[in-house]
Structure 1
């Protein structure tokens, strides 16, 4: 499995209803995409009352079953249109150490993401095992998806979750997003 995310940053005064409309109109187009476990259409607003973001963002998160799904998406017409409309984003890729996806993942309305640097020479087996224990302990708290990913190029660990309701302020997250739509692949 592979996780993927890119973030498009918009000016503070950008009309984010444009992004919300895009999600609403284009979200279902990826339903049933081969090798896609899910795509969460994520956005965040600088002016959000409950959990303001440092920036206005459109930052979809993907969980893929196979690398050819990633390749087919990035070379396909949907991504080509996105780059035409908003520019060429940097795409982050993570190898999956652990994932749990509930059958009702499409009910997600919020997402949280935490990224941390991995210290040089850290015992990766120990870190992986700790991360898996964390992911398994988080599922009972109501997360509809829990994904732990490893970026060996940037030496980063990512913890991503989808939620039916806003996550608790005590949950560690670098970024909270609203989920506008969740697409699932054909296996769903």
Structure 2
């Protein structure tokens, strides 16, 4: 599994209806994309859920590198870059994935943090994995993933919810593409 995220921050007075329409009319384009486990069409709106910004910020869980590369070097990402400028794409290697029981995710949370330089990475990751496992029983959880960028030792914890807790950066999720989500293995990915 590979996690990928980019954030397109928009002007404070931007009509976010444009983004909602974009997702409604184009979101299904990845509903059968090979190699994609999940794409959450994440949106933050200034003044909603404590967000200081307007932002379109899709989050992906890729089952295969080939799928991720097909997207990045294909017409979908080219079109997005033509419309908004090429965003910086964050990428993390997958550590674990868990499914919840909520059927219809409508919100998401994302939390990132760097491992302290003097910390044992294995111990830090074990703590993060334990937190992931605890979330599994929350009835509002659809799914949750943990990944790491070993270049900067940054962890990302991303979760989809029917109703998100007030933790981390919160997003509304008007659409989720999940063509190969059922093929993504649960638990640790090593």
- Alpha-carbon RMSD across the aligned residues, in angstroms, is 1.5
Aligned to 1:178: 172
**TM-score of the pair, normalised by structure 2:** 0.90
Q: Is the 8 A contact 2:102 2:162 kept in 1?
A: no
How far does residue 47 in structure 1 lie from its aligned partner after superposition? 2.6
**TM-score of the pair, normalised by structure 1:** 0.91
How far does residue 149 in structure 1 lie from its aligned partner after superposition? 1.0
Q: What is the number of residues matched between the two proteins?
A: 181
What is the alpha-carbon distance in structure 2 between the residues aligned to residue 137 and residue 27 of structure 1? Answer: 31
Q: Deviations over 1:43-80 (max 9, x none)?
A: 000132xx121211100000011111110100110111
When structure 1 is superposed on structure 2, of 14-23 and 113-122 the one drifting more is 113-122
1:118 paired to 2:112: no
Give runs of aligned pairs for residues 3-152 of structure 1, distance below 5 A: 3-48=3-48, 51-102=49-100, 107-142=104-139, 143-152=141-150
- In structure 1, list runs of 5 or more residues that go unmatched: none
Q: Is the 8 A contact 2:38 2:180 kept in 1?
A: no
What is the alpha-carbon distance in structure 1 between the residues aligned to residue 153 and residue 3 of structure 2? Answer: 15
